[in-house]
Structure 1
């Protein structure tokens, strides 16, 4: 396997990206009878609502998973950021709707994570908590350990990333969610790991994209892959300390004004859906932008070849037929490498792109304002 020595290039971040195939196998290899019993009882409730929540990248994990879980479970599944719930809890929490709140949190120390579960306990009559986290010392995990209506699931210890950006922590939590609630199965993980390993082995090709030093990056994807596009844009924005302009959208939505961002200094990344119908719209936007800006302006990730007349694509084998939320896992590895190598091209330090502390690894300085009685009973 071709790698770049961590001490010379990429710090802990590059190692945490590269460990993901093995970490996913570890996640898939675990059995948890307590979790099976906990979720089995809840999913038997026909009126159960599932809320996927977190902040930043953890929120985007919910956005990736929600459409797939909605289809798989045939029930209401909503992805709502903790930052939205804390700011306006009565807009999102429903007292009379039985709710399973799935909280994603690398450390579980974000103020909004703790406040969100507390608000749910206060404002929803019947609420259960599934906490997916990487830090056994984190506040959220400790808060919910041993509670009758809570289940805490810890990711492999090595996925508690020490780098600034969430990499293996994010994908491990997302995979755990997809395995526990569907549509992923342990049998899918070898294919996912192999696809990710292909990207790891060819990381120098990904670095070539970063060496173009484009000033703007646009990520496009539909359904679960729109959440992936959002996370991809954030990862690049974070690791370049805001020096590169990033944008995300769906291929159809992009035409309605946001396409104005395109210029000769823009790289567009299109994540092609595995759904045959959705895929047609992805191919349309590829053709349109390449006709406008040239083939090199668009990088395409797909699970199967695209028509030859549309130009080149990076094909990840062995993933045909998997749900887009599942395919998003190796796609995320690509996005992480793009962010890492672009950061290095701009002479940033990926493990700490904000050495002066303007943006911190775990958000600080958030004041959680208590609700008044009038708010609670409104």
Structure 2
């Protein structure tokens, strides 16, 4: 009998969680497939981008909704620091309501859209908005679905480049898992200044190690009831914390409340939410300076004993203290990968934990919202024209 994340595959099927479990576990394979696909597409994408990122006037907007927006947030600052171009993350859900704050008609603009299905109404509306307001705008669609509206509307458009993810990354389950990490890594790979494809193999090897060593402790942790979860991360990992919090909100149908913050920001009010039924998870940064601040907060939380449990996720040992959910890696491996690149690796922890919590609550993880109040592809959105108000 096949075992998957400490549970028989048939058991996952019986409780309605097999798709999500498989999609978490197959991510290293997806990243390797992604690397092969990007190698084949490298010349085409490079020709489309040209020298735009070397232009200080160039605006690059990383956009999406929900998890797709967080993918942009994780990588935006690293890309902005690497290029003369101005790179920022703006969710479609913000762009549509306040376009005048983010768009300039005379600024060359590249809209990078992250979309699992490409059928969310905000995704296609954001493209239409830029076509109306920014003459000459160009579009890079990073999507998992070749048949989606986003990919289809740009298929024969010289101003659009569709970059398709491995077909199996278009998650069948409700929550974005492999779609999220593939799209994030694709953007880092094609928009980074230096060749990056070797990092995908490096990360896939680390992920295989993590999936092997974390499976038992995470299953045990996920079997313990909890009412609140706090995810903390520094720099790009704060956006990772948002995605981790969203995963448990989604897979538990909102029955486990989750928030995200930075370690330094958490003291400024949000710390008040801690109680004996709260789990705090701190994603350790790759930056030594950030880890100093993280370590101080961790010591404070454990000393105050105001949370039920405080855990850390990262590499090995830091500051003389062992990391709770850890993987071993050569120093060269850790140093070569930034926080933005490591985010998909640490996310494997949060995805598994959310899945186990969903099972504990006797929900169906592949579709926790059987009443249809929340949907895999968002519904019920009316798009209003920007020029009517």
Q: TM-score interval w.r.t. the shorter chain?
A: over 0.9
In structure 2, how many angstroms separate the alpha carbons of the residues matched to 1:324 and 1:95? 34
- Matched residue count: 373
**1:11 CA displacement:** 1.6
Structural mapping, 1:218-229, within 5 Å: 218-229=230-241
Which of 139, 142, 153 is the aligned partner of 1:143?
A: 153
For residue 136 of structure 1, report the CA deviation from its aligned partner. 1.1
Matched, 1:7 2:21: no
Q: Per-residue deviation at 1:114? A: 0.4
1:188 pairs with 2:199: yes
**CA displacement at 1:336 relative to structure 2:** 0.6
Match of 2:110 among 100, 117, 123: 100
Q: CA RMSD in A?
A: 1.7
Once the two structures are superposed, the pairs formed by residues 298-317 of structure 1 within 5 Å of their partners are: 298-308=310-320, 310=321, 312-317=323-328
> Using a 3 Å threshold, how does the CA distance of structure 1 residues 76 and 315 change in structure 2: closer, same or farther?
same
Write out aligned runs for 1:336-351 (5 A): 336-351=351-366
Measured after TM superposition, the shift of residue 295 of structure 1 is 9.5
Query: Following TM superposition, by how much is the alpha carbon of 1:235 offset from its aligned partner in structure 2, in angstroms?
Result: 0.5
Distance 2:373 2:62 in 1: 28
Cα 1:276–1:312, aligned 2, differ >3 Å: closer, same or farther?
Answer: closer
Match of 1:21 in 2: 28
Q: Residues 256-335 of structure 1 correspond to what in structure 2 (within 5 A)?
A: 256-293=268-305, 297-308=309-320, 310=321, 312-318=323-329, 319-321=333-335, 322-335=337-350
Q: Shift of the alpha carbon at 1:125?
A: 2.6
Q: What is the CA deviation profile of residues 24-59 of structure 1, one whole-angstrom value per residue up to 9, with x for unaligned ones?
A: 011112221111111233224331111000000000
Residue 258 of structure 2 corresponds to residue 246 of structure 1:
yes
Q: Does 1:207 align with 2:207?
A: no
Contact kept? 2:233, 2:241, Cα under 8 Å: yes
Which stretch has the larger CA shift, 282-291 or 67-76?
67-76
d(CA) in 1 for partners of 2:358 and 2:104? 42
Alpha-carbon separation, structure 2, partners of 1:312 and 1:107:
36
**Secondary structure of 1:347's partner?**
coil
Question: Which position in structure 1 is the counterpart of 2:122?
Answer: 112
Q: Distance in 2 between matches of 1:304 and 1:116?
A: 42
User: C-alpha deviations, 1:214-234, integer Å up to 9, x for none?
Assistant: 111000001110110000000
Deviates more, 1:52-61 or 1:22-31: 22-31
Query: Scaled by the length of structure 2, what TM-score is found?
Result: 0.92
Gapped runs of 5+ residues in structure 2? Answer: none
Q: Deviations over 1:121-164 (max 9, x none)?
A: 11113311000000111000001112111100110000011100
Q: State the TM-score, normalizing by the size of structure 1.
A: 0.94
Q: Does structure 1 retain, via aligned residues, the 8 Å contact 2:278–2:307? A: no
